[in-house]
Structure 1
Amino acid sequence: MNTTERFYFPVDGIFEMFNSLTSHHQSHITHLVLQSTGLTPALQHPKVSNISKTGMGIIKSVKGRWREQDKRAAVIRSSSSGNRQVSTDRAPKRSVDLLELGLTKPRNCHRVVVLGAPRVGKTNILQRFLGKEFEEHYQPTTEDFHRKLFHIGGEAYQVDLLDASSERDFPAKRRLSVLTGDIFLLVFSLDDKDSFSEVCELLNEIKTAKAKLLKLKNPARVPAVICGNKADLETRRVVSRSEVAEVLGEGVSFFETSAKDGSGLESMFGALASLGGLPDETSPSRHQIVSIPTYQSLCIGQQGSRGSRTRGLIGAPCAAVDPLARRPSFNSDLQLVLGSSTKHNKPEKCQIQ
């Protein structure tokens, strides 16, 4: 019969250690408690229940002190860095959609769809656009949707970034993502010829899907930027610039980039902005990152206590990354596609496959 093993926390020494607990990191303290008191099976100590309750009560009190100390440390770090953040109780409880809130115009909202083979650097390129650092260790994409909000020249802009690489084996879902895209970023690795072939196939797929949606006889011209990443691995290059021009044509927007050292990214981001009719200040090096509440203050034009925090930002390009942004449902995307198709044709079923 299975039995539940119970443990005993000796009281001796715990009260003595209590005052020193709050000045150490939680994992380090846990190690000290286990090391100094030792865990002993209940069979050797008859008064198990009473002593266990006492010990657990002390530990809960210590955890409460840890949480308070972590909050104070976070405030000190944010103040010393000069990027003071508002308290979490004033942060938005849901994703910020400028169009739904009436803070911008439809022409200032764009969705960038990112496609390409696995392990070519798509995630790191997106992280660079969001103002984050390069991650050396590869991890399969888990977050496929990001939203960056801009305030430039007195106008608000919203750029949604959809990494559709997780839909690589689901053609119907990928087709729907393609149909919702306004701008496309196709990424391959300069040291992987197969990834370049996949980008060529994806570009043709996008043109065909858009032509079918708009009832065009020929493949549609789409605002797409081709990115040959990992330019820092020059000795391992297998795809040349001349080969890209030969296969895709001279008119294509092609950039050799390195998400690792940042080379070529500024020009590539500038091309994406130009294709989408966005200001040049949407490039990561040309604006300041602010918090979501500060961004909302700029858009709404609130004064008072918030006015002092935003006064220095008025007129200066800034942006905020929405941490709560989640990809819209497939039903929402389907409605978006059906709505766009009726602008050019009579309403009808959207052929995704």
Structure 2
Amino acid sequence: MEMNATEKIYLPVDGILEVFNSLTGHHQSRITHPALQSAVLTPQHPKVSNISKTGMGIIKTVKSRWRQQDKKVTTSRSSSGNSTDPLPKRSVDLLELGLTKPRNCHRIVVLGAPKVGKTNILQRFLGKDFEEEYEPTNEDFHRKLFHIGGEAYQIDLLDAAGERDFPAKRRLSILTGDSFLLVFSLDDRESFNEACELIDEIKAAKAKLLKLKHPARTPVVLCGNKADLETQRAVSRSEVTETLGEDVAFFETSAKDDTGLDGVFAALASLGGLPGETSPSRHQLVSILSYQSMCIGQQSKRRGSRGHGAPCAAVDPLARRPSFTSDLRLVLRSSTKHNKPERCQIQ
């Protein structure tokens, strides 16, 4: 049966959506809005692929509504102390907002072999629970904001696990780090050997950046994880001490049992010149909006006035790693404080 191309065909919008769903794989509940149900299509050709401008407009409208709904769901599901609070429109950078001092901003770079527990250690620092299932990490960036003794602090955590095969990218991460958490597994000797190599790489990279004749002394904390697997231990404490000496703070931990991690976090705070209250057991988690209100309220007080509230912190759910251009500029500024910068810092 032939169809007259000039004849108007009245189709319910659900039929259009079924065609759209079959092409995009997007499934959604039926649309019952009267304005959409009364839509009219005037096809120029009997083929389904040639949808009229009216039909395309309907699809764009529906797709826009879906995106708005998905955004609302994502916002309501976010957990940063209070899951019912709406999220800020962008990541919170205390330095850019003028809510803290440069010396109160710190970046911790986390390195180590795969499957040693880096992600779960970071989860503990962020106040989250241990996750049993293993998922490979390409790169994770977290930001935790603190309010301690009337001052605001910002700690960025970069899990650079996926940079093992990209030396230049890993070198840039090392050069931008203020302190380092190196993780190996006590039941995996190869992971310990890799951690030792990373320590040497960090020292060499920092020495070259600062134009030092000898390897730089860098704030490194070494974490021997999976201490709960005592029967499968492959690396002893005495071996670690003999290999690395006393220059590196070493802790045996279990991210699963949450043992030994307080010492790790306290050592990172001490090496970075941060308050001990940055350890998860010594502060309370609040929502990101509550934290912002607290900082703004503190800023409005007179200079010299100090808050006396309990230490608290918030995890920024929208935190994203700064661009590589920004990181490279940061490295170049660090280099020019001492001498002329290298031609290329990350090679």
Q: TM-score range, shorter-chain basis?
A: 0.7 to 0.9
The CA deviation at 1:165 is: 1.2
Counterparts of 1:1-353 in structure 2, within 5 Å, are 59-61=30-32, 84=82, 87-88=85-86, 91-301=87-297, 315-353=309-347
SS at 1:199's partner residue? helix
Q: Structure 2 stretches of 5 or more lacking a match? A: 1-9, 19-27, 34-64, 300-306
Contact 2:13 2:31 in 1 (8 A): no
Query: Normalising by structure 2, what TM-score?
Result: 0.76
Cα distance, 1:263–1:302 mapped onto 2, change above 3 Å: closer
The CA deviation at 1:141 is: 1.1
The CA deviation at 1:292 is: 1.1
User: Comparing both structures, which one devotes a greater share of its residues to helix?
Assistant: 1
Identity fraction in percent: 74
Q: What is the aligned residue count? A: 287
Query: Normalising by structure 1, what TM-score?
Result: 0.74
Contact 1:111 1:180 in 2 (8 A): yes
Q: Structure 1 stretches of 5 or more lacking a match? A: 1-47, 304-312
SS at 1:124's partner residue? helix
Structural RMSD (CA): 3.1
AA in 1 matched with 2:337:
K
Cα distance, 1:286–1:302 mapped onto 2, change above 3 Å: closer
Q: In the aligned structure 2, how far is the partner of 1:58 from the partner of 1:343?
A: 60
Cα distance, 1:344–1:236 mapped onto 2, change above 3 Å: same
Q: In the aligned structure 1, how far is the partner of 2:332 from the partner of 2:217?
A: 20
Q: In the aligned structure 2, how far is the partner of 1:102 from the partner of 1:186?
A: 32
Cα distance, 1:157–1:50 mapped onto 2, change above 3 Å: closer
The CA deviation at 1:314 is: 5.7
Contact 2:139 2:162 in 1 (8 A): no
SS at 1:262's partner residue? coil
Q: In the aligned structure 2, how far is the partner of 1:287 from the partner of 1:204?
A: 34
Question: What is residue 14 of structure 1 aligned with on the other side?
Answer: none
The CA deviation at 1:251 is: 3.3
SS at 2:251's partner residue? strand
Contact 1:187 1:227 in 2 (8 A): yes
SS at 1:59's partner residue? coil
The CA deviation at 1:315 is: 1.2
Contact 2:14 2:30 in 1 (8 A): no
Cα distance, 1:60–1:184 mapped onto 2, change above 3 Å: same
